Amino acid sequence: MNHLITAPELANTLSTGTPPALLDVRWQLGGPPGRPQYATGHLPGAVYVDLDTELAGPPGADGRHPLPYLAVFADAMRAAGVRSDRPVVVYDAGQGWAAARAWWLLRWAGHPDVRVLDGGLASWTASGATLTSEIPVPSAGDFTPAPGALPVLTADEAAALARTGVLLDARAAERYRGDVEPIDRVGGHIPGAVSAPTTENVTEDGTFRGTGALAARFAALGAKDGAEVGVYCGSGVSAAHEVLALAVAGIPAALYVGSWSAWSSDASRPVATGGLPG
């Protein structure tokens, strides 16, 4: 299955009589908001989807970006023209994290054909393609979420997997070590987890590394030979990018959606620090 699409491939697809549903998922931790940027210029036909309110539920004990309420997610997807029998392409203008979150949610919810624009908005403009400020009004979609198509982990399951399989921590290495923690209650990592920063999934231009390079990267981290693999990050956004990179490499992986924001909110859960899994 192809999980990525290049800018030239997308341009060709959009020129056909049956283009994919196109979602603009611009988002950046701490802002600025993506909707005004979308209104200024976006890919032709793209509909804006808000990560904080439509691709996540309210923050709380389950983390900063827990799974969205299914009714809210379904309404947002149908309003964006998403149909079960129509491909979907998602993109953002940052590191690909938000687009990966949308990809993961749609796949988890049972959509069979979702791809991420490799390199995001930058790859589109670098290819010479244009943007528009025209806001489309798509025909209503019919997508009905059927959760469970991709695996998820609870906190207890993530803790167990860190001992029996491979649990990858997709945050920056300094947050994994506990040197700094700008957001959550305490720094460090889930005991047994392996540091695997999401930034190492991509090349300097923001496109994903090749399948072979990704497979080699994850094999070096222990994700090989049929090992059970799980991923977490700060709040389940950048970890979706890691799950996507693993999928490109042909490695299935489960997502701990609550991630460190949920884990660290419970003072009874153990915390490891330093550069080793612990």
Catalytic residues: 233
Q: Which two structure tokens, joined as six digits, stand for 156? A: 């207890």
Q: How far apart are CA 272 and CA 258, in angstroms?
A: 18
* Cα pseudo-dihedral 242, 122, 205, 27, rounded to 10: -30
E-only strand ranges, the chain: 4-5, 21-24, 47-48, 88-91, 114-117, 166-169, 194-195, 229-232, 254-255
End-to-end CA distance of the chain: 36
Q: Cβ distance 271 to 167 under 8 Å?
A: no
Q: How far apart are CA 215 and CA 250, in angstroms?
A: 8
Q: In what order do the strands lie in the sheet with 21-24?
A: 4-5, 114-117, 88-91, 21-24, 47-48
Q: How far apart are CA 231 and CA 41, in angstroms?
A: 33
Q: What is the DSSP letter of 201?
A: G
